[in-house]
Amino acid sequence: MEFWVDPIKVIFEWLMLTLTGWGLSGELAVVIVDLLGIIALIMGAMLLDIMLVWVERKVVARFQGRLGPNRVGPWGLFQPFPDIIKLIIKEDTTPVGADKLVFNLAPILSLASVIFLWAVLPLASTIVGVDLNVGLLYLVAAGAIGTLSIIMAGWSSNNKYALLGAYRMVANMVSYEIPMVVALLIPTVLSGTMSLKGITLAQSNVWFVVLSPLGALLFLIAAIAELGRSPFDLNEGESEIVSGFHIEYSGMKFGLFYAGELLHAFTFGAFIGVMFFGGWQWPLPWGEKYALVGIFNVLAKGMFFYWVIMWIKYTVPRIRIDHMLAFNWKFLTPLAFVLLMVTAIVHALFMNMAPWLYTLAMFLANVLVGWVTLEILRSNARKQRVAVEAPQPVAQH
């Protein structure tokens, strides 16, 4: 019975006993068991990644009114495996004038930066790689490595399109990172901790999406931008710069970029679930006690938000670079900071009152901020419409 409550802990203790029984010192045994756990976790993530290829292809097909892969295995479920075999046996070309070391390092860092995120993802109350007390900043730091890898890829390819992709990546980064960090500050204000486990536990009564729906929305938008997915996929821009930064990559190196992108989207979906939707605690009610149910809950939320991100990707066309910068600096950043200030003051005033009053105040404050934002946008749009529709001076003949 104990096994089903928390299989990982049982296995961990069994391994520790076996290893120390072989005469290893306790510290070394911990390192070895940790290493095994890490490899298992990353391999699990990679397997999930392989299945995400199928999910992505099937869902996009549905959005576009096609069938998608349906030949290899039931519902085309085994489609990713031929894909991988094909990628592996493809010839790997390096363009002339490429900077070999940087060129080869970039795809590795790109996937690694996504894998790093799994170190702090709390899958269940007892199953979390490591519960860092600076978990949220760790998230941003791993994102920085990802950005760096894309810039490295774009620069080292010795290709104009790839270089343009790298420039656009910088534009992308300066646009999303501030709103994203501010959106991360909101759960920190609400829970008083930066540890992702602490944030999940703080949501046992009420999800943060209820306390701060605008914060969740801001984080979703910023996450899509960080992922470089449509409408913020400027650094790829298939129709303009022919997939940009990874234009010169072929074979498995391209495969790593692709795998990184899919897993990144899923992982961020899971983080949205953890930070705003209660993590392992819902929708199945036994997540707190049974580790496997908790894992199912987190992955189910991850899949749902992955689907939302895909839904947005295949619905919205790509944004123009000047629009993106304006959208960020004139709209998202001010809004995020205003929301943070309002959240902080409401939190400080109502934190010692009844929980229902606190929840109500927080929710109403968000609604108020959202409403004022919409009013400002509306009046601005009206002004612009008047300017456009004003009679133009007629040319004199």
Partner 1 sequence: MQNPWMYVGLFLLVGVVIPIAPILFSALIAPKKPNPIKQSTYECGIETVGESWVQFKAQYYVFALVFLVFDVETVFLFPWAMALNAQNPVVMPAFVAVEGIIFILILLAGLAFTWRKGMLEWV
Partner 2 sequence: MDASQVIFILSAALILVSALLVVTVRNLIHAALWLIATLFGVAILYVLLEAGFLAVVQVVVYIGAIAIMFIFAVMLTRRDLLDKVPQTNENWPVALGVSALALVGIAFIVRGFVFSLDRIAAPLPENSLQMLGDALISPAAYVLPFEVASVLLLAAMIGAVYVAMNKK
Select from partner 1, partner 2, none the partner in contact with residue 331, using the beta carbon and a kind-dependent cut-off of 5 to 8 Å: none
Select from partner 2, partner 1, none the partner in contact with residue 151, using the beta carbon and a kind-dependent cut-off of 5 to 8 Å: partner 2
Select from partner 2, partner 1, none the partner in contact with residue 182, using the beta carbon and a kind-dependent cut-off of 5 to 8 Å: partner 1
The smaller minimum CB distance to partner 2, of residues 177 and 236, is found at 177
Select from partner 1, partner 2, none the partner in contact with residue 287, using the beta carbon and a kind-dependent cut-off of 5 to 8 Å: none
CB 196 within 8 Å of CB 273: no
The smaller minimum CB distance to partner 2, of residues 165 and 287, is found at 165
Select from partner 1, partner 2, none the partner in contact with residue 334, using the beta carbon and a kind-dependent cut-off of 5 to 8 Å: partner 1
| Smallest distance, partner 2 to C-beta of residue 140, A | 5
| Smallest distance, partner 1 to C-beta of residue 372, A | 16
Select from partner 2, partner 1, none the partner in contact with residue 360, using the beta carbon and a kind-dependent cut-off of 5 to 8 Å: none
CB 150 within 8 Å of CB 321: no
| Smallest distance, partner 1 to C-beta of residue 3, A | 22
> How many C-beta atoms surround the C-beta of residue 271 within 10 A?
26
Whole-number Cα distances in Å, 237 to 146, 162, 176, 228, 320: 18, 11, 17, 10, 10
Query: What does 237-304 look like in DSSP terms, one character per residue?
Result: -HHHHTTGGGTT--HHHHHHHHHHHHHHHHHHHHHHHHHHS-GGGSSSTTTTT-HHHHHHHHHHHHHH
Question: Alpha carbon 87 to chain centroid distance?
Answer: 25
CB 294 within 8 Å of CB 80: no
Q: Which sign does the torsion angle of CA 52, 55, 57, 63 carry? A: negative
How many helices (H) and strands (E) in the chain?
16, 0
The smaller minimum CB distance to partner 1, of residues 34 and 375, is found at 34
Q: What are phi and psi of 77, to 5 degrees?
A: -60, -30
| Smallest distance, partner 1 to C-beta of residue 14, A | 18
| Smallest distance, partner 2 to C-beta of residue 154, A | 9
Select from partner 2, partner 1, none the partner in contact with residue 2, using the beta carbon and a kind-dependent cut-off of 5 to 8 Å: none
Cα–Cα dist 323/320, whole Å: 5
| Smallest distance, partner 2 to C-beta of residue 105, A | 9
Select from partner 1, partner 2, none the partner in contact with residue 129, using the beta carbon and a kind-dependent cut-off of 5 to 8 Å: partner 1
Which tokens in the block code for residue 282?
């819902």
The smaller minimum CB distance to partner 2, of residues 19 and 120, is found at 120
Cα–Cα dist 343/347, whole Å: 6
Strands, DSSP E only, in the chain? none
The smaller minimum CB distance to partner 1, of residues 11 and 252, is found at 252
The smaller minimum CB distance to partner 1, of residues 177 and 233, is found at 177
The smaller minimum CB distance to partner 1, of residues 323 and 382, is found at 323
| Smallest distance, partner 1 to C-beta of residue 252, A | 4
- Tokens 């493809």 -> residue: 90
- Binding interface with partner 2 (CB under 8 A): 27, 99, 102, 132-134, 137-138, 140-141, 143-145, 147-148, 151-152, 155, 163, 166-167, 170, 173, 177, 194
Select from partner 2, partner 1, none the partner in contact with residue 158, using the beta carbon and a kind-dependent cut-off of 5 to 8 Å: partner 1
The smaller minimum CB distance to partner 1, of residues 209 and 342, is found at 342
| Smallest distance, partner 2 to C-beta of residue 170, A | 5
Cα–Cα dist 19/13, whole Å: 10
Cα–Cα dist 242/384, whole Å: 34
| Smallest distance, partner 1 to C-beta of residue 124, A | 17
3-class DSSP assignment, residue 96: coil
